[in-house]
Structure 1
Amino acid sequence: MSVEFDFSGKVVVVTGASGALGSTVANEFAKAGATVCAADVVEPESGTLTAGVHFYEGDFTDEAEVESTFEKIVADHGQLDALVNIAGTWKGGTPIDETEVGTFDMLFNVNLKTMFLASKHAIPHLKETKGAIVSTSARASLEGGKGDGPYRAAKAGVRLLTETIAEENNGVVRANAIMPSVIDTPQNREAMPDSDHDTWVKPAEIARVIMFLCSDAADVTSGAAVPVYGEA
């Protein structure tokens, strides 16, 4: 069964848009007719984003930059209908008693603080359009594990903030999270060459779930954490 979305007339912001997942999500929304504002701290490589996607460079751990980016987006395009928080990173390999505080801060800043700041400054605009937020948590956020505790804790924070935003804006702005595991990207294939790549979920498959959660088809869904890890 094929699924088609129509986001014509909608303005969508995607953070972390220079990465493999973020760029795919931005491109899929653009294919569905959305005006896509792709945001990241680094510019995407040439050809990463399709023609017509508008790129906004900004450090989303810096509140002043986040606020000014959203003000510019709304000034440029007149409204905001959806925010997709993709910005994030993973780092692990050490137990808590050997983890540098700088690593802890970096993981919480990139995974949680960006989601908090983007959501904070998007919500006033989303209230005007009864829009939606989709944020990226992780399957790993559901339980503790060895070697990547700060990452798991930050992604658990994304889930809890999502539930809070949904409660605080019930009936006005919908907020949901997705929970991927290992995503089928060139970087992950290079890092884990001996893994069963056929079980990994492709970025385009995750993008379709995100688009559903931003669409009218998900009008009654808010505060959810949706698994998108397939067999991974």
Structure 2
Amino acid sequence: MGTKVVMVTGAGGNLGRAVVEHLAAEGARLVCVERNPQSLDEVVGALPAGVEVLKVPGIDLADLGACQSAVRLAEDRFGGINALVNTVGGFKMGSVDEAGLAQWDALLAMNARTAYAISAAVLPSMRRAGYGRIVHIAAAPGLKSGAKQAAYAASKAAVMRLTEAIAAENRAHRITANCILPGTIDTPQNRASMPDANTETWVPPAAIAKLVAFLISDDAGVVTGGAIPATGFA
């Protein structure tokens, strides 16, 4: 990883924290974006001494102006951004009915608009540099929805189509864009909500972080426009 500058959004979440910790261990310089300042302080405070980190708290990723401000802070500190790892998102289930329309709007904003806004904000910097790596977190329902997943599936399908478009538009700039489709991630929240589930095939956040690290590496330059399953151990 060397001294690559990586922006990680949702850095205070379970997956974001795993990504931050893994990339820090590989020597990356980090721009940690997190809406919750306390969570951000906890993550950054636990990193080893010597890791170069810019904390960007309180950012609403659905707001393009806020995303652009975060990018400017990163450029001022590090000169640019080599990679974006966007872990921000949310999950809710609900039927297709009149009451579900609000959930539709909320999840499209939470999952798809945020991915679009932060991508649009970082791409100019990457194009100027002639290099970039973008990784979004999507989900398997983006390929095929199940019952009570209409809003969630549509929002993650939008992330997948966005990723494909970014990849197609930016090949000439040596910018890749890929998304990861995790299975059930092994988090304390998921264990609490599904106490009787078989967790043996659940995906540890650290395993996804390793996949992220590969996708933003120079070695992954031939991989772009992909939706990569990370659905558990076989």
Aligned length: 225
Partner AA of 2:181 in structure 1 = M
Aligned to 1:4: none
Task: Spell out, residue by residue over 1:153-194, the C-alpha distance to the aligned partner (whole angstroms, 9 max, x if none).
Answer: 000111101000000001321101100121000110011111
Q: Distance in 1 between matches of 2:154 and 2:191?
A: 25
Q: Please state whether the residue corresponding to 1:97 is helix, strand or coil.
A: coil
Aligned to 1:229: 231
Residue 17 (str. 1) matches residue 11 (str. 2): yes
Q: Distance in 2 between matches of 1:54 and 1:27?
A: 14
Aligned to 1:74: 75
Aligned to 1:61: 62
Asked if structure 1 preserves the Cα contact closer than 8 Å seen for 2:54 and 2:77, the reply is no
Pairwise CA distance, 1:77: 1.1
Aligned to 2:162: 161
Q: CA 1:194/1:34 → structure 2, altered by over 3 Å: closer, same or farther?
A: same
Aligned to 1:197: 199
Aligned to 2:134: 133
Q: Please state whether the residue corresponding to 2:7 is helix, strand or coil.
A: strand
Q: Please state whether the residue corresponding to 2:55 is helix, strand or coil.
A: strand
Residue 85 (str. 1) matches residue 79 (str. 2): no
- 4+ residue runs over 2 A deviation: 45-54, 98-102
Aligned to 2:121: 121
Q: Please state whether the residue corresponding to 2:172 is helix, strand or coil.
A: coil
Task: Spell out, residue by residue over 1:84-139, the C-alpha distance to the aligned partner (whole angstroms, 9 max, x if none).
Answer: 111001011x2111543332221111111111000001011112151100011101
Q: CA 1:39/1:198 → structure 2, altered by over 3 Å: closer, same or farther?
A: same
Aligned to 1:37: 31
Ranges in structure 2 where 5+ consecutive residues have no aligned partner: none
Q: CA 1:231/1:141 → structure 2, altered by over 3 Å: closer, same or farther?
A: farther
Pairwise CA distance, 1:16: 1.1
Q: Distance in 2 between matches of 1:138 and 1:98?
A: 25
Asked if structure 2 preserves the Cα contact closer than 8 Å seen for 1:80 and 1:129, the reply is no
Percent of pairs with identical residues? 37
Q: 1:151-190 maps to which residues of 2 (within 5 A)? A: 151-172=152-173, 173-190=175-192
Partner AA of 2:229 in structure 1 = P
Partner AA of 1:116 in structure 2 = Y
Asked if structure 2 preserves the Cα contact closer than 8 Å seen for 1:9 and 1:35, the reply is yes
Q: Distance in 1 between matches of 2:196 and 2:41?
A: 30
Q: Distance in 1 between matches of 2:80 and 2:32?
A: 15
Q: CA 1:46/1:64 → structure 2, altered by over 3 Å: closer, same or farther?
A: closer
